[in-house]
Amino acid sequence: MRRYWSLYLLLLLPIAFFIIFRYTPMAYILLAFKKNNILVPPWKVDWVKNNGLDWFIKAFRDRGFITSLRNTIFLNLLDLFIGMPMPIIMALLLNELAYPKYKRVTQTVLYLPHFLSWVIISSITLRLFATNDGIINKLMGTSIPFMGDEGYWRGTYIFLGIWKECGWNTIIYLAALTGISPELYEAAEVDGAGRWKKIWHVTLPGIRSTIIVLLIMNLGHILGSEFDRPFTLSTKLVEGASKTISIFVYERGINGQQYALSTAVGLFQSVVCVIFLLMSNTLAKRFGERGIW
């Protein structure tokens, strides 16, 4: 063991990082149960009434929070049902592509949007999707308020999410596809299976466990909320649909200095995320899948 001292030396800085920037902030979670005072350390502040749960009660009586909670869940469900199948379909499509060089080029191009930031994407979108003089509307000869109506905005939001990450998310499915034994395809061909039959009976079952693992992760994040995506895509006209929990926390906490309330909201979000993750993982295991632990 003595000769491993150097390994501990290597670990010193990473451990320091995790303790300082990941575990120390957890002390401030106490603030969720205390009066809004950040001038003294949170353990010295008085507890709030209702057994320290006052901020949680206030949050759930706050219309702004309820709206952001509803928006978060709604947008995430749309992402789950519409966004999640897309990379699977795209991976199947790429898998059927018969020209290897062309396939490589296609993949490179489809990964491109993943490397753009939401600031960039929103700045392009605001131009292309503008109601009156946007190119999309001009080409279609319509004036659809893609960014100016709550319903259409949700559609745009989901579409852009797919546009950005669909190609990137195929990577993992394509990797799973290479793990399928070629003998299965040969056997299917001998049995007279065509393209569709092979996809249905060989390819899809071959990536089932990958799909389930990703489903678990996505279910775990049903209350999680990205910040950049809704924040940069939001416009004044659609705030009722675009305000998610992350934006609520930012506006009330950092801009409004309601630290205790927004810490409580953040804690609620984190705890629900963990619970959902554990539940969906257990569920997957009950169905005989590997799960993520």
Partner 1 sequence: MSIADKPASRQTKRLHDGMIKSRKTRLEDLAIAAVCFLLMLMCVLPMLHVLASSLSSAEYLVRNEVFIWPKGWNFEAYKTVLTTEKYVRSLGWTAILTVMCTLLSISLTICAAYPLTYSNLKGGKFINFLFLFTMYFSAGTIPSYLLLSRMHMLNTPYALIFPNCISVFNVIIMRSFFYSVPDSLREAAEIDGASPIRVLVQIYLPLSLPVIATLSLFYAVGRWNGFSDALMYLKHKDAEKYWPIQLLLYNVIKNSTQTTEQAAQEGFFANGVSKTIQMATVMFATVPILLVYPWLQRYFVTGVTIGAVKG
Burial of 59 (0-12, 13-18, 19+ CB in 10 A): buried
Contact string 67-86 vs partner 1 (x = CB under 8 A): --------------------
Q: Which is nearer to partner 1, 61 or 195 (CB)?
A: 195
**Contact flag: residue 287 with partner 1 (CB under 8 A):** no
Task: Out of 178, 190, 192, 288, name the contact with partner 1 by CB under 8 A.
Answer: 178
Least distance (Å) from partner 1 to the CB of residue 282? 14
CB nearer to partner 1: pick between 106 and 218: 106
Give the closest residue to 53 by CA, choosing from 279, 281, 271.
Answer: 271
Beta carbon nearer to partner 1, 36 or 67: 36
Q: How far is the CB of 99 from partner 1 (least distance, A)?
A: 6
191 binds partner 1 (CB under 8 A): no
User: Would you say 77 or 274 has its CB closer to partner 1?
Assistant: 274
- Is 140 one of the binding residues for partner 1 (CB under 8 A)? no
Does the protein bind partner 1 through residue 28 (CB under 8 A)?
yes
Beta-bridge partners for 50: none
Residue 238: CB atoms within 10 A of its CB come to: 22
Q: How many CA atoms lie within 13 A of 29 on its CB side?
A: 12
Q: Count CB atoms within 10 A of the CB of residue 216.
A: 25
**94 binds partner 1 per the rule CB under 8 A:** yes
Buried residues in 274-284 as b, exposed as e (16+ CB within 10 A): eebbeebbeeb
| List of residues 6+ apart from 266 with CB closer than 8 A | 32, 249, 253
Nearer to partner 1, 52 or 253 (CB): 253
